[in-house]
Every structure is written in C-alpha cells, then in structure tokens.
Structure 1
Amino acid sequence: MQPYASLLANGKKRFETRYRRTSKRGLVAIHAGRGQYAPPTDEAQEKYFELIRQSKELTGISFPCLPRGYIVGVAQLVACEYIIDANEERAILTDKRNPESGVMEIRGEELQFGDFRKGRYAWIFENFFAAPEPIAALGKQGWWKTEVPDGWGK
C-alpha cells in the first residue's frame, strides 16, 4: 500500500515487516496495491497519517498522486530476520549474516515504516530502483511473476 511501496522503491524504507517469513531472495518487483491501508490501532493510525503528511518530502510525490495498482520499482530481497524484541525506540532482529553479534538493531525513522512488534519478521531489501514510469499491474496475494523493463535494478 502507499506510501509504503514508494518509500521502499526509493530506498527510504529498507524493511518490509510481515507476520510470516519468506525464503525468497533476489530481485523483487515492488507493487503498490490499489486499496487504502487501514491502520489496526490508534497508534498505527497516528504514525500512518504522519507518513501521509511527509509523503512529498520522503518520496518527491504528494500522497494523493502516489501511483496505486502499479509496479513502482524493484529491489533485492537479501534476508528475512525474526524480530526478537521491540519498543518505541528500537527493534532487535536476528541477523544470521553477522556471526559476531547475531543481532541487528533498528532505530529512528525506519521504525515508523513498519510493524516491528516482537514475533514478526523483517524482510531486508537493498539495491533499490524507483521506476521512472510505473507499470500498471494487478497485484495478487503472495508471490507472482511479472516482467520488468531491461535495465531496472541493474
């Protein structure tokens, strides 16, 4: 959903938080659903409306103009880590890529871009590419195959 999809495509958001893990890795198209996000709690609603107010500053596009029902970019999905602890100031994730500490700490602005509650998962993205022209696409639940133009994500 927007503005999260555009934040991810522009590299402002590095983590997609979900209730389930994924073993998927590699280049992933970022699809902005046509629907409107409905925050589940008053706190989430407050954070969401603040993001909407900041959307132009964060993405370069005001919220009403953010594309919906489009692929808005691509990024590399590089890891999926379990959220082992969280509060208003930070989230602690497992980090199998870092053998010394074994954990990753998330602080600051990134926390408002996801649901970092303990017990959820953070899908970690790198190498972001925002689409110069979004591609209309019907989204689906789960993973689905699509074609993106040559040069995207390279």
Structure 2
Amino acid sequence: MFTSCYKAVFTCLFCVTTAFSVFADSPRAAYEQARQEALCAWMAMASYGDRPGLAARQELVRRGWHIDSQVQKDDKSEAKFHLARKGDDTLLAVTGTASLADIKSDLNLHSVAYGGTAGKTARKDGVRRVHAGFDHYTTTLLAAPMAARP
C-alpha cells in the first residue's frame, strides 16, 4: 500500500514538473523551475501528519533539509506550518483545513480589516478586508517564534 502511494505521488510530481518545465527559457532554467516545483510539492505533502506526509519529511531530511514544525494553538484555531531550510533556501508549507477548529475558523466569514496586502478587497473607505477566520489564522501563524537557522 505504502509503495503504491509513493509511486503514485512520484508519478504525479514527475508529470506536473515535466509539463510546466516546457515554459522555461533555457534547459538550465527548465531544470531549476522543475526542481523548485518538485520541492514545493514535497513540502506541501510534508505539511500533513499522515503516512505520505511522514515519508515526504523523511525524504527532505535525507536530502539535507532541516525541517522545523510549528503548531500554534489557541481557543479559535490551530495553525500548523513547517519551515524547511537548506543553505540559503527556505520553504514554508502551511497545513490547510485539517481539524474541527480549522473548520470553525474557516466559517468565521465576516470581514475584518487586514494590515497586509489583501488584493482588491478594499472597500470604499480604502481599508483592505479579509474574512475573520483567515485574519486570525495568519495572525497566529505570524506570531509564532521561529527557530534559529541550523
């Protein structure tokens, strides 16, 4: 079961990176783009606690990445994310909706002012707005203490 899941993930990653690499300017740029897309796919998979996520984290560690997993809990949400570092490169993967607390936070839909750049959500007063669940989740995530570089 695990081997077939691993093969399916690898096949999917290979197809996606091959398809998008044709848009690059040169063979070197195509390689770099495919490498970055594959790393991002591995990190996205590694952000979950299931067997494929564990396998992805183990593979990244085997390839020299240092992974720092964070969970920021409060009464409204549970923000989970992983930072992977290798040399000057840093990847961030944020776990999506994965628990009842996340679902409750997602359903907190009234809009609130957001201090970042929320695109074209500005109302007539010029204040950018996002849904309250997103604002709380990102505020929780951004307040997390970061470990020093290894």
Shorter-chain TM-score bucket reads under 0.3
Q: Which has the larger radius of gyration?
A: 2
TM-score by length of 2: 0.22
Larger helix proportion of the pair = 2
TM-score by length of 1: 0.22
